[in-house]
Amino acid sequence: MTHDFTLPATSGTTFTPAAALGKNLVLFFYPKDNTPGCTTEAQQFRDLHEQFKQTNCIVAGISRDSLKSHENFKAKFSLPFELLSDADETVCNLFGVIKLKNMYGKQVRGIERSTFVFDSQGMLRHEWRGLKADGHAQEVLDFVATLN
């Protein structure tokens, strides 16, 4: 596993990719809980969650939000997967997803919506960067299905 890390996760758990060995792993990085695009993306991963499980796949979302924010987001939208809190941006930096973005004419640092797929041996098999939220979960599922 070239991208090893440990992050606090929802449901009182701790997440490390090494624990996912033997299963495919989808890590989706998103800018912020309860924002329109991130909500759409999370809901679509939720709606396809059973199909991801059928492809021997674990899905986890990562942002800089606090665990409290994540727990509220997860409960509000009945998300069946864990959300990981990367408040100090360690994992965001590991994956290179922090970018300067323009928000209302100002330059701000934020997470570029990105998804990474690892196979059951922990090898990075595909990545999407700067993607559009709507329809992305289906695209990821279609790719994961080719790994089995």
Assess contact for 115 and 41: CB atoms under 8 A. Answer: no
Nearest to 86, CA basis, from 51, 50, 61: 61
| Residues present in the chain in total | 148
Q: How far apart are CA 48 and CA 123, in angstroms?
A: 23
Residue 118 corresponds to which tokens in the numbers above? Answer: 């690892």
Assess contact for 68 and 93: CB atoms under 8 A. Answer: no
127, amino acid identity: E
Q: Which of 38, 91, 92, 140 is catalytic?
A: 38
Catalytic residue status for 92: no
Compute φ and ψ for 60, nearest 5 degrees: -145, 140
Catalytic residues: 38
